Every structure is written in C-alpha cells, then in structure tokens.
Structure 1
Amino acid sequence: MKTDIIRYNLTERGRTYRGKPRNFDIPSIVAAINSGPCQEKVKHRDMLGYYGHWPRVKFGMNPAEGGVVDGKAVRVEPAIVTTYLKALDDGTIEHQEEFLDNDAGRLAYNLYKSKAGGFSSAIDEYKRNGPEFYGFDYVLEPNYSTNRGYDIALDSALTLDAVEAIEAYQEHIGGMARLLDSVMSDRNNVDAAYRDALKALATVSAENETYISLLTRNKTLDSVASLESVGSPLLVDRSGLSALERNIKSFKTADLGRFEPLDDEAKPTDKTVSNVLDSITRR
C-alpha cells in the first residue's frame, strides 16, 4: 500500500482562507531534509508517521512507542512510513509513503483511496543546530492542500470501507483521546487558578496601598481608630500599626512644655517624643 511520489512546494499551500501561513527558511529546511541523518532515517524505515498530529503533541515530535499518562502506559500506533524523501533548492519536496498493515494504517489508506485528507509534515524550525524534519502524518485537513498525492475530486465521497475503518479505529483510540482531553482540561484549570491568584494579589496590594495612604495623612493622627471601619487587610503588619498607635496616644498626653530652638548637637530627652520624631523622619 504505497503512494506514488508526491510533490509539493513549501511556498504554495494551495489555500486562500484556511490553514496557517508558513514562512520557512527554505535553504535550511532543504539542507535538513537532504542531510545524512535524515536520509539514513528514511533508508532504515525509521521515519514513521501517525494518524493525526496528536501523538506528537502529547509525547513529543518523536513519540516512539508511546508514553505514560496518569500512571498508565499509552501505546502509540504509527500509520505510515516514509520510504523516499528529497528536497529541491526551490522548496519543492518529494516523498513517497507506505501505509502500514495495522488499524491506523488501514484507516489512513482508506481515506487516501477515498480522496479525503492528506499528508502534513512535522518540522521543528527552532532547534539550536538548525531545523529538524521528523516526517509526515496523515490528517483530515492538511495545511498544504497540495500535499495529498491525488487530485481533489469535488464529487468524491468516503467509501464504505473507509467509514468502517474510521469507526473501528475511533473505538481503538477513544481511550487515548479522552486521556489527552483530560490533560488539556487540567492545564486549563491550572491557568484559571493562576489568573485568580494574580487577581487576588492585585486586590491585596490595592488594600495595602489604601492603608499606607491613610496612615500618612495628617488627619489620621487624630482618628487612627477609624482604620478599623475600613476593614482588616490581608497583608498588614499589625505590630507596626499598634506601635504607631501607642506613640500617638503617648504624644497626646505627654508634657511637652515649650518648644525651644535646638542647636545641631541638641537631642530630645523625652523617649516618647524621640520615638515619634524618628517615625516621622523615617517617612
């Protein structure tokens, strides 16, 4: 179950409204595809592809046999293998795919025979030593509509074989898909909790600013008790507030006498006055 050699160009997606525009560094992608390590992978039939991109999304660009989710081993079943691959200087990619004789491979092949879906490449553009090409997956709506391996017939429809293969394989991967949905849901919950925490932190900061503002106003010296009517903040140093309150009360009842000009060497002898003046000068 092999395709003919498929040709498409990285600068021509064959789409106007759907999909994502790509601005590849063509010389770098061409060099990566024609490199020794990439061609050796093709030669040894190690460049495997999957039905859909989700195995790579979940387990990385090279998911191998699968991975562990919530303590359970999840098997990843490849659907295709790339048997020929070449890149031309103008960005044209040539490749040939073989559908594997398993559930995933039969599903992809039946879709291919029915002229539905197409191939979609897996490329990591941002590797430190340059881009890396991992192969192709079979997807229902390829970003490059030119990467299908058949001419699109507007009157084509899924055959009975394709429908039966889809139903069988959907039952096979249903558990794994639910696990993926669960993981994404957990991530959304974490993101929501993080946003709530930031909102709470902003509220607390605003409350503290209000208290600081009240304490620094002159009229507050005569009405410290009014702070209690504002509501107790979440992050207030109560010991510092209590000390200021005591100093204010002591200042009101202290026998200050007359104010005399002080020279540079003079220092207040009354401890209460000293504490209050120190608090004021520190601000």
Structure 2
Amino acid sequence: MSKRTGVIRYNLNDIKRNFTGQKRAIDIDAAMRLFNGAALQESIRKGDIYGYIGHQYREKYTLDVPETVMVDGVPVVLEPACRTIYLKCYPTGDVEHEQEFLDTAPGRVGARLWDSKAYGFSSAIYAPEENGLRVPKGYFGMDLVRAPNYDNNRGYAVMLDSVAPGVFTAVDTFPTESAALLDSVDNMIKESDAFAAGLSNDILKQYKINDELNEYNARLLERLHQAKIEAPMLDSAPKVMERGINMDTGATMLDSAQRFMANENLPGYQPAPEKAEEKGAVDVVVGGVKKAMAMVDSVIRGH
C-alpha cells in the first residue's frame, strides 16, 4: 500500500540554513501562477507529476525524466519513487505540498528513508533568471535528496535544491521554457530508431534462407509424394541431440537441397499422351481381352 507524507510546508524566501544552501530571489507571483494554475493542478490531480531518489536522472536526462532510456541497445525503465498529490503557493512565499511514495523499488526505499527521518524533498523547477529574479515556469516534481536546500522541506530548485551552484547554468539560459521540456514522442522515436539499427544483419539473412528452405521443402515433399516415398518422421531422429552443433547451418542445408533437386533420377511429371496414342492403347487392350475370351469359350465347348 502506498504511503503519504502528509502536508509539508516551507517558505521560498527562507532556506533555514546559515552556512550552507543556496539563497535565491524568487518571483513569488510567478510561483503562485505556476503552482496554483489550472494546467499544473490538473496534472497533479491525475497523478502525472513524479519524483525520484536524488536529482541524477534530471541532471542526465533533463528535468522531465523520460519513461525509458536506451543503454547499450537495451531499454531501461527509469522508475519514479513518488508523485505530487497536493501543491499550493501563498502570497507570503509559503509552499505546501504532499507526496505519495509509489509501490516501486525506489518508492519503497524512499518510504524507508522517510520513516527513518532521513533525506528530504527538493523541488525540480524550471526557473530562468529575469531581471534579477528566478521566475518559475515549469514544475516537474519533488525528488528525495540527502541535503535539501530548504531545510523545512526536508526542496527548492533551476533550481534543483540540492545541486551545487552553476551545475545547471546551461539550463538557466534556455531562451524559452519549452527548451527545458522533454518531448516524450520524439524520445520514443529516437529509442525506436536506435533499437531498429541494432538488429543483426545475420538474423535478417537467416530469415531469407529459412524462406528459401521452406520453398524447397514443399517442392521436395511434392516429388516424394509422386514417387510414393514417405517422408521421414521426427521419431527417426536420435533421442539425445548432440550439443555444440554449428547453428549457422542454413546455407549448408540450402546447398544440399539444390544438389538434390538437380538429380536427374528423381521422379518427375510425365507428358500428357496424345489422344491418338490413348485410342490405340485402348484398342490393343480390348483386342487382347476379346482373344482371351474366345480361347476360354473354345475350351469350354471342347473344340
């Protein structure tokens, strides 16, 4: 069963740290428009905003973490640990949020850490600097981190709260908010292309050989049927198959089939007889029968 944190409250203007952390000047009005906006609130109600253990996925794959990534040609699922189920921002800069730990491997780890009063939440927000203020334009969830920037959150981020200053300089200078968003469809297309490129040419070649073998097999069975030779059954194979046989036998089998097909002694189709030849053969048979019947009749009569 999923575990909820209860409502957590912190203030954007007060990190509750004296010697560590990153103090930032936040545009509170922009934060309210984003956090309390209809679009984000709908996503939260539908459970679409996820968080992870640490910020590493976001550092590597952008703030909007993809569902899967390709690693050495193999798709790997990036499992989330939690999701935002409540979020609200007040004119004072106070932020309230509640997280729900998921029944995933990272979610269970996160719940255990939370129960142990370890780690804290750090928000992932796209907030470029404009006129000296960080302007929140995109909220991507709360991650569970070892040292949250806002101590009361036990999270503000570009702000990724626990990341050292300067790490996301390139992200901060994005010209538009869309530059920070991950296009899920494009990512899926790239992954599909990478997967298709990884298909082995040898497998495709083997498919072609198998198709040719199937065609030859059908023709051979037809000839065996014409010659009234029964095809062998699998029962004739040894009970224990040898191991270590070379698996690339398709070409050898195809060559053998071609040599067999070239044998002139194989039964084949006989040309259709001409009608005259058919009539002559019938006359010969009928004449022979009549002669035999006449001889039998002569013997019976005693002649």
* TM-score, normalised relative to structure 2: 0.47
- Larger Cα-atom Rg: 2
* TM-score, normalised relative to structure 1: 0.50
Structure with higher helix content? 1
